[in-house]
Amino acid sequence: MEDALLAWYGEHARDLPWRRTRDPYAILVSEVMLQQTQVARVVPRYRAWLERWPTADDLANASMADVLREWQGLGYNRRALNLRRAAQYIAAQGWPEDLTELPGVGRYTADAVARFAYEQDVLPIDTNVRRVTNRTGARFGPAAAHALMDLGATICLARIPRCPTCPLADRCPSRGSTYAPLRKQSRFEGSFRQRRAQTLRLVSERPRRFSQLDGEAVEALRKEGFLALEGDRVQLAEFSPS
C-alpha cells in the first residue's frame, strides 16, 4: 500500500511553503498555526510571520502585544502565547532533546518537528493520518507522513471519502463507506469566545479602563494569563509602556 500511496503523492503533493525547509523553528511555526486552522488560511500568515520573525530569537524578543496582533484571525490565542514561550525557551536553552518540553508542544507537534526538520524515524499521527490508517488497516512508515496527510485532507475525507480516486481503494476494507457527521464546533458569532477575542484585541492595541471592557471576558483572560488588572487599568500581562 505504501508504494501506491507514495506514487500518488509524487503526482498530487500539495505545494506548501513549510515543506521546502528543514528549519525546525519554521516547521514549529507551521505546525502550531495548523492546529484547528485550515491550510489555505495559514499559508499567507505563515509567510508574514517568518518575514517578521525569521528566527526563534526574533520571536523571543517580540512583545506580547505584537505577537497577538500578528496572530489575529487565526483563533485560539493561547497558541500564539505558547509559541512565543517556546521561542523564549529555545533562545535561552536551545532545542531540547525531548521537544514536548517546549511550551504548548504535545506528542504530535513534537513528532512532526522531529520528522520534518530532523528526519527522525517517526510517523507523526494527526487527524488525517489516523483516519487513513484506521480505514485501511495498513501500516505506513515515516517516509509516508506527508502523503498520508495529503490523502486524508483531499481524498479520504471525514464524512464522504472520494474512494473512486483513492490510490489505496483496491485494498481498502472501508471502500465505499460513508460516516456520520462530525460534531461541529459551537457558533463563534455572538459567543463568549468572540467576546474574549474582541476584548483581547482591544487591550492588545493599548491598555484600557476596566469599565470600558467586557468584565466577564477580562476576568477569563486574566485567569488564563493574558491580561493584568491594576486598579481600573487593564493591560497585557507582559505589557511594558513606552
CA atoms within 13 A on the CB side of 100: 4
- Name residue, grid cell 515515516: 142
Among residues 31, 189, 224, 230, which one is catalytic?
A: 31
Cα–Cα distance for residue pair 112/176, rounded to 1 Å: 31
Q: What is the DSSP letter of 186?
A: P
CB atoms within 10 A of CB 51: 8
Judging by beta carbons within 10 Å of its beta carbon (0-12, 13-18, 19+), is residue 106 exposed, middle or buried?
exposed
CB contact at 8 A, 39 and 16: yes
Residue 230 a catalytic site member: no
The residues carrying an active-site annotation are 31
